[in-house]
Amino acid sequence: MIILASAILVLALLVTTGSALYSMYQIQEDGERAMLEQMDIRLQNLAESKAMLADSILSVYTGDVRTLVGYAEELYENPENYAPAEVLPPSPEETEGYTLQRYLVSYKIKYEDVQDELELLANLEPLLETMMEDHGDTITDIYCATVSGAHISYNQWGSRGYTGGDESYFNFYTSPWYTGAIETGDVFYTDVYTDGFSRGQMITCSAPVYDQGTLKAVIAMDILVDDLQREITEIPLPVGAYALLLGRNGRIIVDTRSDVEDDSAQLADPYIEEMISDKGVVSGAGPGPDEQYYAFSRIKANDWTFCVVLPVKSVLEPLGTMESKVKKIAQTFVLLLIPILLLVLGMINIFAKHITKPLSDLKKDVEIISSGNLDWKAEVQENNEVGDLAAAFNRMTDSLRTYIDELTRVTGEKERVNAELDVANKIQQDMLPGKFSPNPDRTEVTLSASMSPAKGVGGDFYDYFYVDDDHLALVIADVSGKGIPAALFMMSSMIQIHDYTMALQSPAKVLEDVNRIVCMRNEESMFVTVWLGILELSTGKLTASNAGHEYPVIRPAGRSFALFRDKHSLPVGAMDDVHYTEYELQLTPGADVFVYSDGLPEGVNEKNEQFGTDRIVRVLNETDSSDPETLIREMDRAMQEFAAGTPQFDDLTMLSIHYNGQSST
């Protein structure tokens, strides 16, 4: 026992040492992972905060442009409320302060042609003056360009806008701010460009003006973006990191590593498609040999993207010292463990025979039992843990033999129940009429039907039969619940509806009589929704009543299918003494009627989306046929494609009728 205790002590030391080494390496890995995760969060928050800052700044300009658009639309809608104001062309002489000046799009436009519109838009000047004062030097120009070819501009250019002659001309039709606002139909920001009058980098915010839905003009505002760019990119960054401000399609606007003046330079770094999509953090090979972090967030107002780039090695550099220490400790542990392992191996060799013999015997017993001989018993030779294990195997064998016997009995019972369900399903299917017309010799109608239960048997049913030579009864119904109870209730309801209809009663009277009988014998509180119609074959008059069932779909001759929202009454069996209403439809030759149970519109796919009545009507109208069998087949195909393998949870029944009219023979 002393030797055994020594072996256990050495083994415990070995496990402890291994655990310590593992823990140290795990701490190192956890530290690395934690630092990377924190850097992910920090960089993402930084990118998002800067994007939100840019959005908040740009929202001010967006709001101003929307205000100008609203005022301009008011001018166009109510010109009689505003006095005309003269707008002069740019002067060749230098002017001081802000002035309102006019331009024409080309020599083909005469001032007299657009004079009224220009003098009306001149009423914008007080609002333009206020906006210029509010924004200081940030806004350089505010202007309105009309579809008719006129242009007013509020700026302090002086003579720089003068192009010679009595009028000045500026073809704005192809300008990005003009075409972009028209294409988007809303506020639009251009890419960054260098101003032609040496005022610096700028963008233009523009938006269309409409009058009663007709495009009249585009209002635009030129914005210097040097301060905005500095405010976004001048931020404290981690060591080794740099920031990028990207325009549309990933073109560099600002790069904190160097002054990038060419806004057409394409970003060389990878992952550009991801970075200009929305927001996130990606990592991978950069423009150099080192792996990089890219944290980015899109500025929604103008589709710029703010991005922070950081080498991964910069994040992990503090862990280098720790890794070196861990390696030294691991080497020391290994040197100490070599003699300990030799000692343990010697002790294991001494005790191997004593320990493994009973285990080997038990292994042979287990192999005999696993081969299927459950009557075999393992011999309990040791009064220790091995003996306890052998006894446990014997108990397990007894339990397994009992379980197999019970499983065999239950399996046989289940097979018997399944056989009875198959018989019940066959009986239920035999209760239904055939899928096609009840009398092939009659040509007044063509019809087809189908019923697919969700379980072995179901609660849906359809029926059609001749009440007399000139009247055909049409029935579709859905019993509450599923399985055997619903099937029994279905057969009872089907027989009663058939019998009362054959008594030449109206649909409403049939439902009232059946409801009275069902309520008298309905201790389980089951009910059935019913649509019952009686078609007069000679005239096409369809008299119908709806007891809580789905809306029918009707297609008059020569027209399209549409949902017919008939008046619903309570389902049969829901309440005693219910008064049912009925209605009449006049079918002409070529008309169709399609009725169904709720298993069709309420069928779902893997996204838990319902098939719906709109899709039912669309499938019917897209089917290039009036044949009832074809309509049902196409509807079933559409349902199977929609469900895409999702299990059917409710019975699905369909009945389609095509009225041909009275035979001429």
Average pLDDT over every residue of 278-307: 74
Question: How far is CA 305 from each of CA 45, 232, 282, 400, 426, rounded to the nearest angstrom?
Answer: 14, 11, 14, 66, 67
- Which residues sit opposite 307 in a β-bridge? 244, 296
Q: Left (φ > 0), alpha (ψ -120 to 50) or beta: where does 558 sit?
A: left
Amino acid in position 651: D
Range of 144-148, 153-157, 353-357 with top mean pLDDT: 144-148
How does residue 270 score in pLDDT terms, banded at 50, 70 and 90?
A: low
Please say if the pLDDT value at position 441 is more than 80.
no
Q: What angle (nearest 5°) sits at the alpha carbon of residue 274, between those of residues 269 and 279?
A: 115
Q: 297 with 50: CB under 8 angstroms? A: yes
Tell me how crowded residue 611 is: count the other CB atoms within 10 A of its CB: 21
pLDDT reported for residue 219: 97
How does residue 300 score in pLDDT terms, banded at 50, 70 and 90?
A: confident
Question: How far is CA 600 from each of CA 42, 450, 458, rounded to the nearest angstrom?
Answer: 51, 12, 14
Give the containing element (helix H, strand E) for 405: helix 385-431
Return the CATH number of 433-659, one of 3.60.40.10, 3.40.50.300, 3.30.1060.10, 2.60.40.3080: 3.60.40.10
Please say if the pLDDT value at position 656 is more than 50.
yes
How far apart, in whole angstroms, are the C-alpha atoms of residue 399 and residue 38? 54
In the sheet that 304-311 helps form, which strands lie side by side, from edge to edge? 252-255, 242-246, 304-311, 291-299, 279-285
Report which of residues 587 and 314 the model is more confident about: 587
pLDDT reported for residue 527: 92
Percent of the chain beyond pLDDT 90? 37
Task: Return the residue matching tokens 């089917």.
Answer: 623
Half-sphere exposure of 198 (CA within 13 A, CB side): 1
Tell me how crowded residue 348 is: count the other CB atoms within 10 A of its CB: 13
In 3D space, the residue among 247, 332, 235, 259 whose CA is nearest the CA of residue 17 turns out to be 332
In 3D space, the residue among 429, 430, 438 whose CA is nearest the CA of residue 467 turns out to be 438
How far apart, in whole angstroms, are the C-alpha atoms of residue 40 and residue 227? 28
How far apart, in whole angstroms, are the C-alpha atoms of residue 378 and residue 359? 11
Please say if the pLDDT value at position 395 is more than 60.
yes
Task: Return the residue matching tokens 């009986």.
Answer: 427
pLDDT reported for residue 632: 95
- Which residues sit opposite 292 in a β-bridge? 284, 311
How far apart, in whole angstroms, are the C-alpha atoms of residue 657 and residue 430? 21
Average pLDDT over every residue of 466-490: 86
Average pLDDT over every residue of 502-518: 91
pLDDT reported for residue 503: 85
How does residue 265 score in pLDDT terms, banded at 50, 70 and 90?
A: very low
Tell me how crowded residue 386 is: count the other CB atoms within 10 A of its CB: 17
Average pLDDT over every residue of 517-523: 84
Please say if the pLDDT value at position 272 is more than 90.
no
How far apart, in whole angstroms, are the C-alpha atoms of residue 74 and residue 515? 64
pLDDT reported for residue 419: 46
Question: How far is CA 584 from each of CA 515, 567, 591, rounded to the nearest angstrom?
Answer: 22, 12, 14
pLDDT reported for residue 585: 95
Average pLDDT in the chain: 80
Amino acid in position 607: K
Question: How far is CA 449 from each of CA 532, 576, 596, rounded to the nearest angstrom?
Answer: 15, 31, 9
- Residue 81 token pair: 């409320």
Q: 142 with 132: CB under 8 angstroms? A: yes
Provide the residue ranges of all domains of the chain, joining segments of one domain with +: 433-659
Average pLDDT over every residue of 202-231: 88
Q: 164 with 104: CB under 8 angstroms? A: no
Average pLDDT over every residue of 105-126: 91
Question: How far is CA 416 from each of CA 248, 421, 426, 445, 535, rounded to the nearest angstrom?
Answer: 70, 9, 16, 43, 44
How far apart, in whole angstroms, are the C-alpha atoms of residue 441 and residue 555? 25
Tens of pLDDT, residues 326-385: 667 666 766 766 776 666 666 666 555 556 666 666 666 666 766 666 677 767 566 666
Residue 512: phi and psi, rounded to 5, are: -65, -45
Sign of CA dihedral 403, 407, 408, 413: positive
Average pLDDT over every residue of 489-517: 90
Range of 63-72, 82-91, 325-334, 439-448 with top mean pLDDT: 63-72
pLDDT reported for residue 416: 56
Q: 595 with 652: CB under 8 angstroms? A: no
Report which of residues 568 and 426 the model is more confident about: 568
Q: 145 with 220: CB under 8 angstroms? A: yes
How does residue 420 score in pLDDT terms, banded at 50, 70 and 90?
A: very low
pLDDT reported for residue 133: 87
- Residue 496 token pair: 């009663």
How does residue 476 score in pLDDT terms, banded at 50, 70 and 90?
A: very high
pLDDT reported for residue 660: 94
How far apart, in whole angstroms, are the C-alpha atoms of residue 430 and residue 650? 20
Residue 309: phi and psi, rounded to 5, are: -115, 130
**Quick one: three-class SS letters along 49-68?**
HHHHHHHHHHHHHHHHHHHH
Per DSSP, the three-state class of 487 is helix
In 3D space, the residue among 452, 448, 423 whose CA is nearest the CA of residue 434 turns out to be 448
In 3D space, the residue among 405, 407, 580, 609 whose CA is nearest the CA of residue 510 turns out to be 580
pLDDT reported for residue 94: 67
Amino acid in position 593: V
**pTM score, whole prediction:** 0.43
Please say if the pLDDT value at position 495 is more than 70.
yes
Please say if the pLDDT value at position 406 is more than 90.
no
How far apart, in whole angstroms, are the C-alpha atoms of residue 520 and residue 575? 10
